[in-house]
Amino acid sequence: MSKRQERQQVPTAGQSQGTSFLERFKIEVDFRERDGNLLINGLRGLIKLTPKGHETYEERLERERKKGHDEAASYGAASIGGRRFIFYATHKDFCYGTFGRVAGEKFVKAAELAAERGLPFIAFFTSAGARQHENYTALLQMTRMTALAARYKRTTNTPYIAVLHNQVWGGISASAVPSADLTIAVEGTRFGFAGPQVIESAEGERPPEESQTAETAVKEKRLDMLVKEEDLLAVLGEILSCIGSPGKGKISNDDLRNLPLVPTISEKKRFRFGQSASPEIIYPRYREDVLENDAGQHDLVVLSKSVEKINLEDLHARFQMLMTDYRRLDTETILRLCFESFVPLYNVEVRRQYVVYPSIIAGLGRIHSQTFLVIGNQPSYFTPNNKPGWINKIASYPTPADMRYFKRMLKLGERHDLPAVFLTDTPGAKAAISAERADIAREIQECIEAGISYKAPTISIVTGVLGSGGGLVSTPIADFNAMTEYAMAFVAEPVSATTILYSQANPELARVKNTTETLRATARDQKELGLIDDVIAEPEGGAGTNPIQAAELIQRYLLEKLREINSRSKHRRLKRRFEKIRLLGGIPFKELDAI
């Protein structure tokens, strides 16, 4: 039985007889509640007018308690697959999950308990916001939750994960949720700060139904991941197996020497295009989720109809190949091939003819006991109706939202001391007025700073095109910088560079070709200029002709450089990285003295 068939046999929360998803989840993780009877007597708050007269806050609380809960939150110890963690949850069936003093106090106690025991902290949220009855007292719980989450992250190196379910509005969405290392939403969750009725009151019209869903928030990178109810438990278990234990996953040089190379898998690159024009957002947890192709298979080793053999010494033709050859290794393929196991931290949108990825994706990759943060550009793919068997590569153009996601993932990796592998293949950042208004220039600067300041070991590899400042986002100057043999680097991709040089929109092809040939853009050029450390060989004809061999060459490079990094102290490694940055493209002292 395949993993997919096994998943289809698991009943969802809605199929459980009268049991909510949260209650079923608590059973599955062996939840042991603490402070279940934490109550505050004599609370005075808002008095609400009802059809039957006045209802005091205490009367409202008593009415809610008859439904089965004493308050809107609970916390305690739990475990997944033997991995212990502290669990906090808000309950939608008590005042719609609104939070006040008691819910805030339980969050504080949960965060403190997780920090004291050095355990992961998982918080499960469904909430209509701060409880109006408690007014400013309820509002201030946002500050308490933010402060305790920050202290937990500052004093531990275990993850804080926020899970969103049903609906999450108001204060939780602006405090405990964005404070998390990872935000995971269950499919169908409604999400936003101001609810639709609040927006309607302020603007005079109700927002579009799809604008405040978790699906939209994930596409816009306001949340990190979207999963199905039946997958949540397994996904959390996989994340905890990678980053759930303090100091987990330090691999020795002896282990590195004895590791097998690329795992044996089918030498097929398959694309699961959707069955309808309506988009479907999937979480690519299993290989078959994306490596199945409903529109036919395409052999990685044999040239397909959509890719012609080219002269790789013709630099303009090489650039076109890098931009269009779907068979070359992308970040997802490297994550799947170069690591023994992986946990994606992103989603994929599929619809008829398209597989649409975020422009930057990240995942946790495991080699032996070592977990890596793998992050880089990711193209999308398209199969045209009028060309059966053809697949077109759609280049990655990162937006400000992609860059904010990039910074969040670096914070996650740095908190857990994960070596980071950066992978670059982009002609540049998104060029649009919307990006300018979202302050893309500042986002690029902050990404560059975050990358070069990352304290754990770093390796940057350009696998395709590096273009402009947007390319520098995913290519920090690292402990080791490399380019694959046929990769290219540009201050601006050739057409843009030619436009700037000649002050000419839509420049003629001859000028574009001349610019490409004379910019010194190849990997060999960057090595000769001292701007990178290494050039990683590609198979004859380029990585697209044999991606399995190309993946082996990249994996071998990663393991070799990790051995070198392991031989240096952290202080020495970071000092060497800064000196490397200091001298990049600089003027030698003798020449400087002559000026």
In a domain? residue 332: yes
Can you give the residue range of the structural domain that contains 461?
A: 312-342+358-378+395-584
* 3-class secondary structure per residue, 106-151: HHHHHHHHHHHHCCCEEEEEEECCECHHHHHHHHCHHHHHHHHHHH
CB 325 within 8 A of CB 392: no
What is the distance between the alpha carbons of residues 509 and 511, in angstroms, rounded to a whole number?
A: 5
What SS3 state is found at 331? helix
Answer yes or no: do 327 and 192 share one domain: no
Answer yes or no: do 229 and 367 share one domain: no
- What angle in degrees, to the nearest 10, is found between the helix axes of 440-453 and 400-415? 20
Residue at which a domain ends, from 220, 243, 266? 243
Answer yes or no: do 226 and 316 share one domain: no
In a domain? residue 326: yes
What is the distance between the alpha carbons of residues 65 and 477, in angstroms, rounded to a whole number?
A: 57
Answer yes or no: do 21 and 163 share one domain: yes
Cβ neighbours of residue 568 closer than 8 Å, sequence gap 6 or more: 576
Answer yes or no: do 432 and 532 share one domain: yes
Answer yes or no: do 441 and 321 share one domain: yes
What SS3 state is found at 158? coil
In single-letter form, the type of residue at position 366 comes to R
Answer yes or no: do 55 and 146 share one domain: yes
The single residue listed with the structure tokens 């025991």 is: 117
Residue at which a domain ends, from 243, 260, 291? 243
Answer yes or no: do 77 and 222 share one domain: yes
The reported pLDDT for the residue numbered 62 is 78
In a domain? residue 33: yes
CB 433 within 8 A of CB 399: no
Answer yes or no: do 318 and 235 share one domain: no
Answer yes or no: do 326 and 235 share one domain: no
Answer yes or no: do 172 and 318 share one domain: no
CB 294 within 8 A of CB 273: yes
In a domain? residue 250: no
Query: 590: how many CB neighbours lie within 10 A of its CB?
Result: 7
What is the distance between the alpha carbons of residues 578 and 149, in angstroms, rounded to a whole number?
A: 32
In a domain? residue 548: yes
The reported pLDDT for the residue numbered 585 is 75
Read off the CATH number of the domain in which 122 is found.
3.90.226.10
The residue length of the chain stands at 595
In a domain? residue 275: no
The reported pLDDT for the residue numbered 259 is 57
Into how many domains does the chain fold? 2
What is the distance between the alpha carbons of residues 365 and 372, in angstroms, rounded to a whole number?
A: 5
In a domain? residue 285: no
In single-letter form, the type of residue at position 329 comes to L
The reported pLDDT for the residue numbered 93 is 82
Single out the residue of 244, 299, 249, 313 nearest to residue 270, CA to CA.
Answer: 299
Extract the tokens encoding 520: 């010194």
The reported pLDDT for the residue numbered 44 is 55
In a domain? residue 32: yes
What is the distance between the alpha carbons of residues 161 and 18, in angstroms, rounded to a whole number?
A: 27
pTM of the model: 0.88
Residue at which a domain ends, from 224, 243, 262? 243
CA distances from residue 33 to 18, 28, 68, 75, 85 in whole angstroms, order as listed? 21, 14, 15, 6, 12
* Predicted confidence pLDDT, tens digits, the chain (595 residues): 444 443 333 334 333 344 689 999 999 999 999 986 665 555 555 566 666 667 777 777 778 777 777 778 899 999 999 999 999 999 888 887 888 888 999 999 999 999 999 999 999 999 988 888 888 989 999 999 999 999 999 999 999 999 999 999 999 999 999 999 999 999 999 999 998 889 989 998 998 888 999 999 999 999 999 999 999 999 999 999 999 776 555 666 666 565 555 454 444 444 555 556 667 888 885 544 443 333 333 333 333 444 556 788 888 889 999 998 888 999 999 998 888 889 999 999 988 788 899 999 999 999 888 899 999 999 999 887 767 667 889 999 999 999 999 999 999 999 999 999 999 999 999 989 999 999 999 999 999 999 999 999 999 999 999 999 999 999 999 999 999 999 999 998 888 889 999 998 889 899 999 999 888 999 999 999 999 999 999 999 899 888 888 999 999 999 999 889 988 899 999 999 999 999 887 665 545 444 4
Structural element, H or E, at residue 73: strand 73-80
Answer yes or no: do 59 and 152 share one domain: yes
What is the distance between the alpha carbons of residues 278 and 138, in angstroms, rounded to a whole number?
A: 41
Angle at CA 135, nearest 5°, toward 129 and 140?
70
What is the distance between the alpha carbons of residues 145 and 165, in angstroms, rounded to a whole number?
A: 19
